[in-house]
């Protein structure tokens, strides 16, 4: 039975390392970010570090995307599950945007050093305790924590240890844990190999993640939905979020998203560029369309209608 058509079972989604006195908080956070569906629409706003300004200032990108405020305007007005970005940006804009559902990314690295030149290492910036204190003092709507690790790097042992600790500490505090897991480095010839991505999904499950954000499997440089089933099965009860990738045609993106969920078995998406590299009305419409497919079982046609209405100013 489709997950959004069935009654969600707490036993499946609440990990055993969530303390008894935090179970209701964890469940409330989980249901809030998944819109009671078990699926997550994650609006990714962490690229200010990851991709520097390449994703925010270039031909075809609206001028307002260069200002971080654009991300917060989208997140505050669109239907999203959670807005993922770094602690510092949240602290800079949080007073004005208190009601956004936040995920705090606890690490990041730039892409200045090519992966084939030096194995990537993205070290944790802050402790979970720092985020918990900030949440209590600021009153911000922080519901989840996130961390990126690179399998295949010579530094993977350090990142695995940090990821395991973050997931456990998140659960101890009733928060949702999302891991970005990307095999990268000189020993990884094909980042879109289905078998390799399934391995990364299995690592995410082993680390106890509630959701794992992964690349999508390609065959001859084309997304093949059926290949995704190996990935989602390997993840077990950890939900697979498919990476949004470069900005593409709206209809193509929404069709692939629908296939990821209904053929590949994914439980959501992590989308940045395909949302924020648009003027505000279009960005809100795109986010709403993605959220409708992800959490409301909307068809591609229904989602396209949502996007077009927003594009025409009917938000």
Q: In Å, how far from its chain's centre is CA 49?
A: 16
Q: What does the block give as tokens for 162?
A: 């940090």
- Which of 13, 182, 184, 215 is labelled catalytic? 182
Number of neighbouring beta carbons within 10 Å of residue 138 = 14
- Which of 48, 105, 213, 215 is labelled catalytic? 213
Three-state DSSP class for residue 130: helix
Provide φ and ψ at 103, rounded to 5°: -120, 125
Hey, what's the torsion of the CAs at 51, 148, 33, 64, to 10 degrees?
A: -10
- Are 286 and 257 spatial neighbours (Cβ–Cβ below 8 Å)? no
59 is catalytic: no
Q: From CA 107, how far away is CA 192, in angstroms rounded?
A: 23
Q: From CA 237, how far away is CA 74, in angstroms rounded?
A: 30
Q: Concatenate the DSSP letters of all residues of 43-72 into one string.
A: EE--HHHHSTTTTTSSTTS-GGGGSTHHHH
Q: From CA 292, how far away is CA 79, in angstroms rounded?
A: 8
Q: What is the DSSP letter of 103?
A: E
Task: Please list the residues that pair with 270 across neighbouring strands.
Answer: 42, 243
Q: From CA 61, how far away is CA 277, in angstroms rounded?
A: 5
Strand 142-149 and strand 176-181: the pairing is parallel
215 is catalytic: no
Q: In Å, how far from its chain's centre is CA 122?
A: 17
Q: Which residues are known to be catalytic?
A: 182, 213
């Amino acid at each position: 039975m489709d997950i959004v058509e069935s009654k969600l079972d707490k036993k499946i989604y609440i990990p055993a390392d969530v303390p008894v006195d935090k179970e209701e908080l964890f469940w409330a956070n989980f249901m809030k970010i998944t819109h009671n569906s078990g699926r997550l629409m994650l609006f990714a706003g962490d690229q200010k570090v990851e991709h520097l300004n390449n994703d925010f200032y270039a031909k075809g990108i609206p001028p307002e995307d260069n200002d971080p405020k654009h991300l917060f305007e989208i997140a505050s007005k669109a239907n999203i599950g959670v807005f993922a970005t770094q602690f510092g940006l949240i602290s800079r804009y949080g007073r004005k945007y208190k009601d956004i559902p936040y995920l705090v990314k606890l690490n990041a690295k730039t892409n200045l050093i090519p992966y084939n030149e030096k194995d990537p290492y993205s070290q944790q910036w802050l402790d979970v305790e720092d985020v918990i204190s900030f949440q209590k003092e600021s009153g911000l709507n922080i519901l989840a924590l996130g961390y990126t690790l690179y399998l295949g790097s010579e530094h993977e042992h350090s990142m695995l240890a940090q990821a395991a600790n973050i997931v456990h500490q998140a659960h101890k505090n009733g928060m949702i844990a999302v891991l970005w897991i990307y095999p990268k480095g000189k020993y990884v010839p094909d980042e879109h190999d289905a078998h390799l991505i399934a391995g990364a999904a299995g690592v995410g499950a082993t680390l106890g993640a509630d959701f794992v954000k992964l690349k999508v499997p390609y065959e001859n440089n084309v997304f093949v939905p059926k290949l995704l089933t190996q990935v989602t099965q390997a993840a077990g009860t950890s939900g697979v979020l498919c990476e949004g990738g470069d900005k593409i045609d709206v209809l193509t993106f929404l069709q692939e998203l629908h296939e990821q969920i209904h053929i590949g078995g994914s439980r959501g998406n992590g989308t940045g560029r395909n949302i924020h590299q648009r003027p505000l009305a279009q960005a809100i419409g795109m986010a709403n369309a993605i959220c409708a497919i992800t959490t409301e079982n909307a068809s591609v046609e229904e989602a396209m209608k949502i996007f077009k209405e927003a594009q025409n100013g009917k938000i």
